[in-house]
Structure 1
Amino acid sequence: MTHETSSSTDKNVVDLTRKHRNKAVSRTVRSTRERLQSTHSGGPALSCDVLKAYIQSVLHSAAIIPFLALLVGGIGTYVSASPTLAIWTLFTLSIHALNVLLARKAARSEITPLTLGRWTRTLILSQCAMGVCWAMFSFQSCDTCSGDTFTFYKGAVLLVVLSVTAMSNILLRRAVLFAFIPTVMALVSLSLITRDPLQIGITAMFTTAMIFFIYVTDRLYQNSLSLTSFQSEKDDLIAELEVAKSMSDEARRRAEEANMAKSRFLASMSHELRTPLNAILGFSEVMANEVLGPLNNALYKEYSGDIHRSGQHLLNLINEILDLSRIEAGKYELNESAISLLELAEDCLGMVQLRARAKNISIGHQFEPHLPQVWADEKAVRQVVLNLLSNAVKFTPQGGEIMLKVGWTAGGGQYVAIRDNGPGIPEEEIPVVLSAFGQGSIAIKSAEQGTGLGLPIVQAILSKHGGEFKLKSKLRDGTEVIAILPSSRVLQSLPAISETPAVTPRKRQFA
């Protein structure tokens, strides 16, 4: 039962049932981009937002006009002792109450680009109705007032009302014009009827102020439109960034699950792949060496040698893939000991000499004498040097030269450098060569192709040692690779560990 559950879990590591998440995210991205494109300055969607903001502004400042009407009507009634101003106050308050109810209805309704024009015209007409009220106020008179006092009073009130109305109607275009056209017409009529110089001056002053406020409110409306547009774009961009982050998180999760599935596959297949390969290698070697007796056909012996070489090549490829998989999974552990980099380099040099002679390649060496030992994983470092030497032999043409150097670095570490006079690597292909499964154009054309994992494994092994890998190459100018171990790995540069009680637990641990 446990085995069946584990198998089911392995099969479902990559959850393909979550595709609906990607569809929902894609729909959100598309709708956000459409909104971004449609909410440019002056667009219908943006105008709807501005009109909604105006309606909220009307509701929030609903108490200003009643306060002014009551104040103006109360002072006028007290001064003139006439009931007409009281009647005017009640009429004005009624019209304002209807406007507030209309604004509340608009706030409850859904304003769309289709209903935008109708609501705009309705709200402008409501402002025009309030303008009629103030036009009626301009016709009021005071029989008990002396001189031009009441005329001054009306002019001051109309200018105050004009400024208050202009500031509260910034978000409704042409509201000031339509709201005070009736008032201007009333003042012009009074000027023509009375021909009073003071009345004419007040009319001219009010008309000039109205034109000025129309200009100012129009500019403020444009600025408000731009600010609203910027705010809307900022909100939409934030939403799109959140959606993109969600998509990135989903993609990362799926990549991690796929990587986990790959690691489990490689771990489970390592034994199954190596067991038959070992049998193939063993039996092919027995046949090639004629251990059980001579083969009657020489061609069979040649074929068995081909089988052995091909199997060995396949086993090396599998080992490289498994090594890289362990490194990526963080399960590659170092078995460190004191080793001599000089002796290790000489051993690796002897292992590739046969292949080098077959291609008539001369390998020179330059070793600094008396190099102290380093603290490292012998198998891993041997793999690094052998890999780099094998690459140099592989890509160096017939009759070429290879130089192997081992010595001190400027920082007190030790290095192994290998330089060949092969075709080199184009500079733009170096990042490709250093990536997993990456191969340059020269390697692709080569008859001895590999997996492209050699250099990534070299980098990973040196990184585990705290070292560094450098590759210098130019097309038709050869290649130089340098593997560096840090000074902390050189045993001579480290102080001896003192025998103190503090290290006693460590001795018991290794015992």
Structure 2
Amino acid sequence: MSTGVSTSTDKIIVDKSRSHRNKAVSRAVRATRDRLQTATGISPGFEREMLQLHIASAVQSALAVPVVVLLVAVVGVYLTQETGLVAWAILALSVHALGLIVTRRARGQEITPDNARRWQRRFIAAQVGMGLAWAVFAVQSCDACTGSTFELYKGSALLVALAVTAMGTLMLRHAVLYAFAPTVAALAAVAVLRPDPAAIGMAAIVAAALIFLVFMTHRLRHTSAQLLSSQSEKDDLIAELEVAKSMSDEARRRAEEANLAKSRFLASMSHELRTPLNAILGFSEVMSTEVLGPLDNPTYKEYTTDIHRSGQHLLNLINEILDLSRIEAGKYDLSEETVSLVDIADDCIGMVQLRARQKNIAITQQFETGMPALWADEKALRQVVLNLLSNAVKFTPQGGEILVKAGWTAGGGQYVSIRDNGPGIPEDEIPVVLSAFGQGSIAIKSAEQGTGLGLPIVQAILAKHNGEFILKSKLREGTEAIAILPAKRVLQSLPAVEETRAVKPRRKSFA
């Protein structure tokens, strides 16, 4: 009893765990869809991931800004001989170093949804500081320079710096705008104070480049967010598939266990029922045949005949259940020998002839002559043909006809076909009658019912012989059942080899 209780308890636990896993998967899928359907397209959950990507990018490209600053300073000093650019380079490198300190500190800590905004503001502040350094560079002047060489140099340097900043801060929202807004403002102020065409043109070009890069970084950031969303959704779906697979494996394992338990139960119960049933059949037969003396009451004799007939019917059902249990458990072994399919079919017709005559059913046979023997289990094939013939007699109406054919298949095998003109089977019920314990509507309404195991046993026996079973039926026209055995089961007899005497070769004469 304790084992049974623990088993049922285990089942309850597994069922609850399945429910929890289903709820978890549903929540994950809903969260993913919410992220994909937000107004901005980027949920707060992805802000943290993008911030981590920005930190990794800033650490990897830490030398990019210093290299640009040093190149700008060296080129500027070479062109203008202005030592003020050296001071500006020191200022820009110092601001950039402060930004790297903030980045490394953020890298050493865990970025959570709660502190993500705070770290984002710190990174924006570092970019604003770097932008102020570039704004200082934008207001630099050169008294010794002539023409627009210095303005062209500053414009080119600012465009390079703008591009480097846009690439380095792609995952940081509005970083490019905050970083270079002071620079554009400084250029605009210089253009207003000194209405030089070169200064005005440089301010316009940098402003246009800033607007373009802000738009492009926004689109690229949005695309990155969609990629993250797709990756997250894929991970959630993979998790869901893994959970579903584990649940399916668990369900399949339990189904196999239940099926095995069912087969063991049927085999055990069938064996236990058959033992007392044999005694009932024996005693009822002795009483009905009046071996130990006549029965004075004819009603009692009729009762003993009914007992024997009912017991025989019950024994047949139990034997079918035992056969199906052995087949499902893989314990049904074939005892193969040389058999004749035509002889088996002829014997089975003789066994059902009495019942057919009682219903005035004519059984016609068409057997091809000269068919060789088969290598098969005679008892199993006899059971196949007898089951099909019994079904045909059972469902054929009074005065009907049954046609039994045996012959060759197109592939060199042999077949036996049993066709009746009974009520037929609806097309949608054919899979039902071919399943274990399945019965069609005609069989359910019939007065002579069975267990619905005959056709499944036929299919299983033919499958053990590598054969095939075909059931054709039309409503109100009849049914045809065809049992096919493959060509490799056919034993072809080889003609004897005739002995021939050695013939001496004739000598050819040459003229």
Give the TM-score, by structure 1 length. Answer: 0.86
Does 1:312 find its partner at 2:308? no
One-letter code of the match for 2:430?
Answer: I
User: Is the 8 Å Cα contact of residues 14 and 261 (structure 1) preserved in structure 2?
Assistant: no
1:140 is aligned to 140
Equivalents in 2 of 1:496, 1:95: separation in Å?
106
Equivalent residue, structure 2, for 1:450: 450
Aligned: 1:37 with 2:33? yes
Distance 1:493 1:239, change over 3 A: farther
- Correspondence list, 1:100-499, <5 A: 100-107=100-107, 108-112=109-113, 119-492=119-492
Distance change (3 Å), C-alpha of 1:87 and 1:235: same
State the one-letter code of the partner of 1:332: Y
Deviates more, 1:246-255 or 1:196-205: 246-255
Cα distance in 1 for residues equivalent to 2:364 and 2:408: 18
By how many angstroms is 1:90 displaced? 3.5
Q: Aligned residue for 2:505?
A: none
In terms of mean alpha carbon deviation, does 292-301 or 276-285 score higher? Answer: 292-301
Partners of 1:382 and 1:391 lie apart in 2 by 14
Which SS does the other structure have where 2:404 is aligned?
strand
Shift of 1:412: 2.5
Moved more, 144-153 or 324-333: 144-153
> In 2, Cα distance between the equivalents of 1:15 and 1:387?
43
The aligned counterpart of 1:503 is none
Deviation at 1:203, TM superposition (A): 0.8
Q: Is the 8 A contact 1:28 1:243 kept in 2?
A: no
In 1, Cα distance between the equivalents of 2:493 and 2:421?
35
For structure 1, the 5+ residue unaligned runs are 498-511
SS of 2:492's equivalent in the other structure is helix
Distance 1:8 1:213 in 2: 72
Conserved in 1, the CA contact under 8 Å of 2:424 and 2:473? yes
- Measured in 1, the distance between the counterparts of 2:321 and 2:25 equals 39
Query: Aligned partners of 2:357, 2:257: CA distance in 1, in Å?
Result: 47
C-alpha offsets along residues 217-238 of structure 1, whole Å, 9 cap, x if unaligned?
2222232222222222223222
* Residue 349 of structure 1, CA deviation: 1.0
CA separation of 1:280 and 1:121: change in aligned 2, threshold 3 A: farther
Letter in 1 for 2:428: E
Q: Is the 8 A contact 2:433 2:452 kept in 1?
A: yes
Instruction: Rate the CA distance shift 1:35–1:469 in 2: closer, same or farther, 3 A.
Output: same
The offset of 1:269, in angstroms, is 3.8
Alignment partner, residue 91 of structure 2: 91
Deviations 1:378-414 (A, max 9, x none): 1100000000011111122222221111222223222
Give the AA of the match of 1:111: T
Q: Which moved more, 1:371-380 or 1:59-68?
A: 59-68
Supply the AA of the counterpart residue of 2:36.
H
8 Å contact kept, 2:264–2:325: no
Quote the sequence identity (%).
62
Amino acid at match of 2:376: A
d(CA) in 2 for partners of 1:315 and 1:126? 92
Alpha-carbon distance in structure 2 between the residues aligned to 1:212 and 1:94: 29
**2: CA distance, partners of 1:110 / 1:319:** 71
Question: Which residue identity does 2:133 align to in structure 1?
Answer: C
Judging changes above 3 Å, is the alpha-carbon distance between structure 1 residues 12 and 228 closer, same or farther for their aligned structure 2 residues? closer
Q: State the partner residue of 2:506.
A: none
| 1:40 partner amino acid | L
* Larger mean Cα displacement after TM superposition, 417-426 or 487-496: 487-496
Residues of 1 paired with 2:155 and 2:234: CA distance? Answer: 45
2:57 aligned with 1:61, yes or no? no
Contact 1:487–1:493 (CA under 8 A) maintained in structure 2:
no
Aligned-partner Cα distance in 1 for 2:461–2:424: 24
Which amino acid is the alignment partner of residue 405 of structure 2?
Answer: K
1:156 is paired with a residue whose SS is helix
Do the aligned partners of 1:419 and 1:478 also contact (CA within 8 Å) in 2?
yes
Say which SS state the counterpart of residue 436 (structure 2) adopts.
coil
Which runs of 5 or more structure 2 residues have no equivalent in the other structure? 498-511
Tell me how far apart the structure 2 counterparts of residues 46 and 307 of structure 1 sit (CA, whole Å). Answer: 80
User: Alpha-carbon deviations, 1:193-229, whole Å to 9, x = none?
Assistant: 1111111111111112112222222222232222222
Counterpart CA distance in 2 for 1:123 and 1:439 is 75
SS at match of 1:195: coil
The secondary structure found in structure 2 opposite 1:154 is: helix
Q: Deviations over 1:36-64 (max 9, x none)?
A: 43342625134443343233222322222
In 2, are the aligned partners of 1:14 and 1:258 still within 8 Å (CA)? Answer: no
Matched to 2:227, the amino acid is: L
SS in structure 1 of the partner of residue 416 of structure 2:
strand
Give CA deviations for 1:309-337 in whole Å, capped at 9, x if unaligned.
Answer: 33222222222222122222222111122
Deviation at 1:421, TM superposition (A): 1.1
Q: Is the 8 A contact 1:366 1:403 kept in 2?
A: yes
Tell me the alpha carbon deviations over residues 279-310 of structure 1, each in whole angstroms, 9 at most, x when there is no partner.
22222323333333344544433333333333
Task: Give the match for residue 508 of structure 1.
Answer: none
What value does the CA root-mean-square deviation take over the aligned residues? 3.1
Provide the C-alpha distance between the structure 2 equivalents of 1:474 and 1:28, rounded to a whole number of angstroms.
50
